[in-house]
């Protein structure tokens, strides 16, 4: 009996201790989480607990439950002074708009304060919500607040990444300011986010990074000013072309091609026969955008003789930009379209086609291809192209495609219709 009494007393003491109390609260939170959405108010009550472990468990539970009702408490949690809780709260908000963003292994992967930002945010990501997805203003405000003032650099960099995923145009000033943070991880994430948001006003903020000594930052900055067609970047880009290392030279010439200043035509013609295939590809793209008819025969000859897919795609884009847009099986547009079925080259062909499809005459060819083609992946790829660049003239062809027998094709056509109608 005495032994039982001793064990019972020890157990009661442990339960009364702060650690024991926290464990009881965590068990309660897990019980409420099993109730689903009805447990959200009870879980939210723990967001102000004095124990960071309890607050962290509450945020994890809210993210696990999910749904619209969790957004307000997650916004509240984003104001916590614990950086891990801040990150979890922001990622939980993203998970509502982009289901699956928080993966099964996410809980264990969140880094603690002091982790290496460069290692954590080393890879570019391409996740982004559809342009017509409405995001609540308080969510965007929470993200902006963290970009500038989260409790750790990791949390700030995480918020910058989230701003890009949510296409948060209101975050552009905060992201532009983050470019001067002196943290490579935060600066990199801010550059990628600005690429996704595509607000031309942010281009000048990245000019000073075009010649940065950190090549990863330099490449991201070059890509940004090219994507945004920041004309003021041209002098620095030309200096990189002339004096930079291999990758920055290629990226700088490609960025000049996107800016498409006729004054750069001499650069493109000079490098069209460069020994580096990346430089030849960038030069061809620039010629296609500037629209230099005198170079068409030269580009045509290169396209017909080239064997490497990467360079041939750029030459096809250039030829189509110069007006070769018929439906010939061996023509440039069909070559680009056929590569929508390639796992390796779809990511190159689709942006080229989306850019070309801004021209009505190119869209007319794509509309005809929707009728003539039977390959599922190609049809879905073309619908994705029109989702980005289609106009009112694309509605009828896409409505017809939406009745395709394959549900995946039909779904992509309906998505394109929705985005076009929202945009136009």
Q: What is the pLDDT of residues 247-265, one digit of tens each?
A: 999 999 999 999 999 999 9
CATH label of the domain that carries residue 329: 1.25.10
Contacts of 370 (CB under 8 A, 6+ apart): 379, 382, 383, 397, 398, 400, 401
For the residues 311-337, what does the mean pLDDT come to? 93
Terminus-to-terminus CA distance in the chain, angstroms?
A: 81
Among candidate residues 380, 328, 268, 382, the one with its CA nearest the CA of residue 316: 328
Note the pLDDT tens digit of each residue in 204-215. Answer: 999 999 999 999
Q: Is residue 382 part of a domain?
A: yes
| Report field, pTM of the whole predicted structure over 0.85 | yes
Q: What gap in Å lies between CA 313 and CA 137, rounded to an integer?
A: 41
| 77, two tokens | 């949690």
Q: Is residue 404 part of a domain?
A: yes
Q: What gap in Å lies between CA 380 and CA 199, rounded to an integer?
A: 28
| 106, two tokens | 């996410």
| pLDDT at residue number 350 | 97
| pLDDT at residue number 116 | 47
| pLDDT at residue number 368 | 95
Angle at the Cα of 228 from the Cα atoms of 226 and 229, rounded to 5 degrees: 60
Q: Is the pLDDT of residue 32 over 80?
A: yes
Contacts of 343 (CB under 8 A, 6+ apart): none
| 108, two tokens | 């264990």
Q: Is residue 237 part of a domain?
A: no
Q: How confident is the model at residue 374 (pLDDT cuts 50, 70, 90)?
A: confident
Angle at the Cα of 143 from the Cα atoms of 141 and 148, rounded to 5 degrees: 100
Whether the CB-CB separation of 226 and 256 falls below 8 Å is answered with yes
Q: How confident is the model at residue 123 (pLDDT cuts 50, 70, 90)?
A: low
Inter-CA distances, 263 with 162, 238, 269, Å? 38, 12, 12
Q: Is residue 375 part of a domain?
A: yes
| pLDDT at residue number 106 | 44
For the residues 186-191, what does the mean pLDDT come to? 97
Q: How many CA atoms lie within 13 A of 373 on its CB side?
A: 26
The boundaries of the domain holding residue 329 are 325-424
Q: How confident is the model at residue 347 (pLDDT cuts 50, 70, 90)?
A: very high
Q: Is residue 393 part of a domain?
A: yes
| pLDDT at residue number 20 | 63
Q: Is residue 122 part of a domain?
A: no
For the residues 383-401, what does the mean pLDDT come to? 97
Q: Is residue 369 part of a domain?
A: yes
Only one residue has tokens 């897919």, namely 309
Q: What gap in Å lies between CA 423 and CA 399, rounded to an integer?
A: 17
Q: Is the pLDDT of residue 61 over 50?
A: yes
Domain count, the chain: 1
Q: Is residue 383 part of a domain?
A: yes
């Amino acid at each position: 009996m005495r032994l039982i009494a001793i064990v019972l007393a020890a157990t009661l003491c442990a339960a009364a201790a702060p650690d024991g109390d926290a464990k009881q609260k965590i068990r309660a939170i897990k019980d409420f989480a099993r109730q689903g959405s009805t447990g959200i108010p009870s879980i939210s009550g723990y967001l102000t607990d004095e124990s960071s472990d309890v607050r962290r468990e509450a945020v994890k539970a809210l993210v696990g439950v999910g749904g619209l009702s969790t957004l307000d408490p997650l916004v509240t949690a984003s104001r916590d002074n614990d950086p891990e809780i801040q990150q979890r709260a922001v990622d939980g908000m993203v998970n509502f708009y982009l289901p699956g963003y928080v993966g099964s292994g996410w809980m264990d992967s969140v880094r603690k304060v002091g982790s290496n930002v460069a290692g954590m945010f080393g890879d570019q990501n391409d996740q982004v919500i559809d342009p017509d997805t409405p995001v609540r203003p308080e969510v965007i405000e929470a993200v902006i607040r963290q970009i500038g003032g989260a409790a750790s650099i990791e949390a700030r960099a995480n918020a910058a990444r989230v701003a890009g995923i949510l296409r948060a145009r209101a975050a552009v000033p905060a992201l532009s300011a983050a470019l001067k943070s002196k943290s490579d991880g935060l600066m990199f994430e801010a550059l990628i986010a600005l690429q996704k948001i595509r607000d031309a006003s942010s281009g000048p903020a990245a000019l000073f990074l075009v010649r940065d000594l950190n090549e990863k930052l330099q490449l991201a900055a070059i890509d940004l000013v090219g994507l945004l067609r920041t004309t003021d970047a041209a002098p620095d880009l030309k200096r990189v072309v002339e004096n930079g290392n291999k990758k920055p030279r290629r990226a700088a010439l490609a960025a000049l091609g996107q800016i498409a200043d006729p004054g750069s035509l001499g650069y493109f013609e000079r490098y069209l026969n460069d020994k580096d295939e990346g430089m030849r590809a960038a030069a061809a793209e620039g010629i296609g955008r500037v629209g230099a008819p005198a170079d068409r025969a030269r580009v045509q000859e290169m396209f017909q003789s080239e064997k490497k897919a990467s360079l041939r795609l750029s030459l096809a884009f250039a030829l189509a930009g110069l007006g070769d847009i018929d439906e010939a099986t061996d023509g440039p547009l069909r070559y680009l379209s056929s590569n929508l079925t390639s796992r390796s080259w779809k990511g190159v062909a689709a942006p080229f086609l989306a850019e070309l499809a801004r021209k009505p005459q190119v869209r007319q060819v794509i509309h005809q291809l929707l009728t003539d083609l039977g390959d599922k992946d190609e049809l879905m790829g073309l619908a994705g192209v029109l989702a980005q660049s289609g106009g009112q003239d694309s509605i009828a062809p896409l409505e017809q495609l939406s009745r395709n027998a394959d549900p995946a094709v039909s779904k992509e056509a309906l998505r394109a219709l929705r985005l076009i109608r929202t945009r136009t």
